[in-house]
């Protein structure tokens, strides 16, 4: 019997010391080549207004402030988990007055029916962390805290990228509006000229109607572009964390020519070798996975016995004046060892639930890594192809500008109809619009690449602090 008890105790002790690995699963990853410094990547555009907007967003954005509040919540959960590692000590002060029956089944001869009871004492209780349950729960809460800190950096990364993207889209819309305004002015002058020529009998009504239709098309495009500008302005005001009045009446001073003047930085090509460490969303998933693994150990610890220690010291008296005298002293001390016998299915179910949650977290981690490499792949591709598209669109604009000049010369010389001029002007306007969009896309591709590579968060400080 003694050997059996020792064997069971040994098995329980070994099981209690077993821990679930917290490291993330090994994945098949491509080889990396570079590790760019991207904490302040937006400064590479040399645009003071962009830098100011990003700084304002990182200081006032409501999503970022909510992420900071979630960190405070996680920090309080760590303190709550740590509380189980220490004894609970309470000071109790009780005063009772009661009356017992004088006609009960047991007569109380010589005792007054009314009694007073005064008690002052300190009570302490402590559950010994035999199997590391509370220590593991504390580390799991610390993993959650770390995950919330990385989540905040993910929000910082997204906010910085969204501010830059919205800003570049706004500049492109401004440039488009300026192009359309100039085009509308030209179309209006053309309509006036064609009307004079129609009234003079030089051209027919068809040519006049065509010029008026082209002017109306530009008017419609101007209205659409103004709507886009208004939407970009309000979206940017929201990202900057401005007041509802400032969102409804956004005021964003900028230069409409800035899109053409801005230089486009060249980020290092190739996949960063430490992409898993650079991306805060992956670090968040890793911390969540570590916490999920530790909670399996916490649930498993319920299989094993718990040891509780209790103690109290104080004084008790029927008379208040005798409460703090020597004979009124009372104390107690005790220990209890509890081993679950019935209800093990509930513990088993809890362990299975925590294991299933861990498995979900593993899949979420794998998906996060998968998305990270996809975004980096797509951003690297876009960073090259958008520059090629911009060069081609610029060449096309130059050629069409010459085509418009030739078409107008041919029309005035009587060699071609006015429809040829309108078609050339229409193609030029479309090409100029595509050129503006291509210039915008080059900058958006740089932003996407910086974000995909894990830029925009305090990488060095956070990694060192973790």
Residues 287, 376: one domain? yes
Give a yes or no: residue 370 inside a domain: yes
Task: Please work out, in degrees rounded to the nearest 5, the angle formed at the alpha carbon of residue 278 by the alpha carbons of 272 and 281.
Answer: 125
What's the DSSP call for residue 272? B
Residue 334's domain is classified under what CATH number?
2.20.200.10
* Structure confidence at residue 321 (pLDDT): 84
**In the predicted model, what is the mean pLDDT of residues 240-251?**
91
Same domain, yes or no: 222 and 117: no
Same domain? 327 vs 368: no
| Cα(164)–Cα(331) distance, integer angstroms | 69
DSSP state of 39: T
- pTM to 2 decimal places: 0.83
**Chain-wide mean pLDDT for the chain?**
87
CATH number at 53 reads 1.20.1600.10
Cα–Cα–Cα angle for 257, 261, 265, rounded to 5 degrees: 140
Please indicate, yes or no, if residue 3 is contained in any of the structural domains: no
Say yes or no: 147 and 232 in one domain.
yes
How many domains does the chain divide into? 2
Q: Are the C-beta atoms of 331 and 312 separated by less than 8 Å? A: yes
Does 278 share its domain with 418?
yes
In terms of phi and psi (left: phi > 0; alpha: psi -120 to 50; beta: otherwise), the region of 201 is left
- What's the gap between Cα 73 and its chain centre? 16
Burial 108-141 (b: 16+ CB within 10 A, else e): eeeeeeeeeebbbbeeeebbebbbbbbbbbbbbb
| Percent of the chain as helix, strand, coil, to the nearest 5 | 65, 10, 20
Contacts of residue 318, Cβ cutoff 8 Å, sequence gap at least 6: 115, 116, 117, 118
Residue ranges making up the domain that contains 68: 10-85+132-301+344-465
Q: Does residue 264 share a domain with residue 195?
A: yes
Q: What is the pLDDT of residue 4?
A: 43
* Residue 5, in any domain of the structure: no
Residues 277, 355 within the same domain: yes
pLDDT in tens, 421-455: 888 888 888 899 899 999 999 999 999 999 998 88
279 and 318 fall within a common domain: no
Contact 113, 99 (CB under 8 A): yes
Q: What residues form DSSP beta bridges with 313?
A: 122, 331
**261 and 364 share one domain:** yes
Number of other CB atoms surrounding residue 345 within 10 Å: 8
What is the share, in percent, of the chain residues with pLDDT greater than 90?
Answer: 52
Residues pairing with 350 in the sheet:
none
pLDDT digits (tens, 9 = 90+) for 106-152: 766 667 788 888 899 999 999 999 899 999 999 999 999 999 999 99
Residue 158 lies in a domain: yes
What tens digit of pLDDT does each residue of 2-28 get?
554 444 444 445 544 567 888 888 887
The 10 Å Cβ neighbour count of residue 339 is: 9
Q: What is the pLDDT of residues 194-229, one digit of tens each?
A: 888 888 888 888 888 988 998 999 999 999 999 999
Residues 390/441, Cβ–Cβ less than 8 Å: yes
Over residues 26-35, mean pLDDT: 78
- Name beta bridge partners: 317: 118
Please state, in angstroms and rounded to a whole number, the distance separating the CA atoms of residues 283 and 304: 33
**Does 226 lie in the same domain as 114?**
no
**Radius of gyration from C-alpha coordinates of the chain:** 38
Question: pLDDT for 38-83, tens place per residue?
Answer: 788 898 888 889 999 999 999 999 999 999 999 999 999 999 999 9
Are 92 and 241 members of one domain? no
The answer to whether residues 325 and 450 belong to one domain is no
Split at pLDDT 50, 70, 90, the class of 464 is very low
Inside any domain, residue 296: yes
């Amino acid at each position: 019997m003694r050997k059996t008890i020792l064997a069971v105790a040994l098995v329980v002790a070994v099981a209690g010391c077993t821990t679930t690995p917290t490291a993330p699963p090994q994945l098949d990853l491509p080889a990396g080549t570079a590790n760019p410094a991207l904490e302040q990547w937006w400064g590479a555009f040399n645009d003071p207004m962009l830098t100011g907007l990003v700084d304002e967003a990182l200081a006032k954005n409501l999503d970022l402030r909510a992420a900071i509040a979630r960190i405070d919540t996680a920090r309080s959960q760590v303190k709550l988990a740590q509380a189980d590692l220490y004894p609970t000590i309470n000071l109790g002060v009780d005063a009772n007055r009661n009356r017992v029956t004088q006609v009960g089944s047991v007569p109380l001869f010589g005792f007054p029916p009314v009694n007073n009871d005064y008690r002052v004492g300190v009570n302490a209780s402590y559950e010994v962390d035999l199997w590391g349950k509370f220590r593991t729960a504390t580390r799991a809460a610390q993993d959650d805290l770390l995950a919330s800190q990385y989540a905040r950096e993910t929000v910082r990364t997204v906010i910085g990228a969204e501010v830059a993207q919205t800003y570049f889209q706004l500049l492109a819309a401004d440039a488009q509006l300026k192009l359309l305004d100039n085009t509308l002015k030209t179309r209006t002058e053309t309509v006036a000229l064609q009307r004079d020529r129609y009234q003079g009998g030089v051209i027919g009504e068809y040519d006049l109607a065509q010029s008026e239709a082209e002017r109306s098309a530009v008017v419609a495009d101007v209205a659409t572009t103004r709507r886009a500008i208004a939407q970009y302005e309000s979206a940017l005001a929201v990202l900057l964390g401005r007041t509802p009045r400032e969102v409804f009446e956004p005021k964003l001073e900028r230069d409409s020519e800035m899109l053409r003047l801005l230089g486009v930085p060249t980020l290092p090509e190739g996949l960063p070798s430490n992409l898993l460490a650079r991306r805060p969303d992956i670090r968040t998933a890793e911390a969540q996975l570590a916490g999920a693994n530790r909670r399996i150990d916490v649930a498993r610890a319920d299989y094993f016995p718990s040891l509780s220690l209790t103690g109290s010291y104080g004084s008790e008296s029927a008379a208040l004046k005798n409460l703090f005298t020597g004979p009124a002293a009372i104390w107690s001390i005790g220990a209890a060892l509890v081993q679950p016998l019935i209800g093990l299915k509930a513990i088993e179910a809890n362990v299975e639930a925590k294991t299933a949650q861990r498995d979900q977290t593993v899949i979420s981690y794998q998906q996060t890594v998968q998305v990270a490499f996809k975004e980096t792949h797509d951003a690297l591709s876009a960073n090259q192809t958008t520059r090629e598209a911009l060069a081609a669109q610029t060449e096309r604009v130059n050629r069409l500008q010459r085509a418009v000049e030739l078409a107008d010369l041919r029309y005035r010389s009587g060699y071609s109809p006015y429809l040829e001029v309108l078609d050339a002007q229409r193609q030029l306007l479309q090409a100029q619009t595509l050129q503006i969009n291509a210039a915008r896309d080059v900058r958006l591709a740089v932003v996407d690449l910086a974000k995909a590579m894990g830029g925009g968060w305090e990488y060095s400080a956070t990694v060192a602090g973790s």
